[in-house]
Structure 1
C-alpha cells in the first residue's frame, strides 16, 4: 500500500509539477505574498510540501488544491503561498534558502502542513491533509478562519486590562494559535510575563519548558545522525538535571535515551527504561511508543 502511494505520488508529481512552479494562483515569494495580502485585505495560506515524494502532499494537491472550487472560493480570502522542498526539480537558490528559513520560522516538522496567517505572517490555525475532497476542505478552512476573530478579540480585550486579568485575556487569545508557532507572538508572550510575574496560570513556565524541549531536540538530532548514542544519553541527562522536567516532558526526553539504547542494541537497558517511561503515564504517546518498542525488542530476543 505504501509503495503504491509513493508511486502514485511520483506519477502525479510528474504530471502536475508545473502547478506548483509559482503559477496557478500559488506564489513562491513569501514577502511578495505578504505585501499582496495586505494590499488586498486578505490573509495568507501557506502550504508546506515535499511535492515530488510525499504521498499525502500529492493527495492534498490532487483532491483539494488543484480543484477549481477550492481555488475560486478560497482566493476570496487568501493569498496562496507554496513552500516546497522537491528533490527532482531543484528550486532557484533564493527560493530554496527562503523556504528553509520559513520551515524553521514556523517550526514545520511534517508535510503536508497548512498554516492560515494574517497579512503580517502571524499564524492563527494549522491543518494538513483531510479526506473528503475540495468542498469539504473549504468548509474546514472556513471554520478555522473563526480562530482569527477569537485571537484578535482576546488581544483587543487585553489592551484595556492590567495585571493578571490582562495576562489571562492574552492567554485566551493565544489558545487558538498553533503551539509550535507560539514564539512568533513574542510581544504577547512578553506582555503576559510582565502582567503576571508570578505566573499564576503556569502559562509562562509551560512556554519556557516547550522552548527548552525544542532546544534539546535540536541538540540531539545531529548526535543521532552521527550515531553518537552515548552523547544522546549525556545530553538528555544534562537536560533532566538542569530543567527538572515532569510528566510528558520528562517522558519525551527519556524517549531519546530509549531510542539510543535500542540503536546500540542494549536491549535489557532499553526495556528497563521503557518501563520507567510507561510508569509515569500509561496512556499518552510516549507510553505507547515505549510499549511498542519494548514489544519489538522482546520479539528480537525471542521472549
Structure 2
C-alpha cells in the first residue's frame, strides 16, 4: 500500500514539474530574459473563443516536448483576450495585455506568436500551423539564430 502512495506522489510531482510556465507581466518577462539570456515568446490568444489558439495550446504549448524545451530556452509570455465573463482577467491584466496588443499585434491576428529579444525588439512572428512541437521549436529558433 505504501509503495502505491509513493508511486502516485512521484507521478503527480513529475506532472507538475513540466507545467508550462507562463509569465503574465511584460516587465517580469523582460527581467527573466535578461537574467537568463533568453528570448521572449509572446503569445496573443483568445483562450475561450479562438479555435486556432486552442489547437496551438493542445498541439504545441501543452506537450511535454515543448514544455521541457521551453523551460530551458524561452521566457513564455501570455497575452490572453478571453470573451466569456467567467474567464475575465483583472482590469490591470486587461490593460497590460492591451498595451502589448498595441505594440506588437497591430493587425489583430489570433493566435499571434511574437519572438522578442530581452529589450523588446521583434525578432520574428508566426501563428498557428499544423506542425509537431519540434517543428514549432525549430521555427521559433529560426528567428533567434
TM-score bucket of the superposed structures, by smaller chain = 0.7 to 0.9
Q: 2:94 is matched with which residue?
A: 96
Determine helix, strand or coil for the equivalent of 1:42.
coil
Structural mapping, 1:1-303, within 5 Å = 24-88=20-84, 89-106=87-104, 107-146=106-145
**Distance between the aligned counterparts of 2:141 and 2:82, measured in 1?**
29
TM-aligned CA deviation for residue 137 of structure 1: 1.1
Cα deviation, 1:93-113, whole Å, max 9, x if unaligned, reads: 111001011101112411000
| TM-score, normalisation: structure 2 | 0.81
Structure 2 stretches lacking a partner, 5+ long: 1-18
**Distance between the aligned counterparts of 2:138 and 2:57, measured in 1?**
17
Cα deviation, 1:206-251, whole Å, max 9, x if unaligned, reads: xxxxxxxxxxxxxxxxxxxxxxxxxxxxxxxxxxxxxxxxxxxxxx
Instruction: State whether residues 61 and 67 of structure 2, in contact with CA within 8 Å, keep that contact through their aligned partners in structure 1.
Output: yes
**Which of structure 1's runs of 4+ aligned residues deviate more than 3 A?**
none
Structure 1 stretches lacking a partner, 5+ long: 1-22, 147-303
Determine helix, strand or coil for the equivalent of 1:86.
coil
Determine helix, strand or coil for the equivalent of 2:20.
coil
> Which structure features the higher share of strand residues?
2
Determine helix, strand or coil for the equivalent of 2:72.
coil
Q: Cα gap change, 1:121/1:108 in structure 2, threshold over 3 Å: closer, same or farther? A: farther
| TM-score, normalisation: structure 1 | 0.40
Highest CA radius of gyration, 1 or 2?
Answer: 1
Q: Which has the higher contact order (CA 8 A, sep 6+)?
A: 2
Determine helix, strand or coil for the equivalent of 2:82.
coil
Instruction: State whether residues 20 and 61 of structure 2, in contact with CA within 8 Å, keep that contact through their aligned partners in structure 1.
Output: no
Cα deviation, 1:263-284, whole Å, max 9, x if unaligned, reads: xxxxxxxxxxxxxxxxxxxxxx
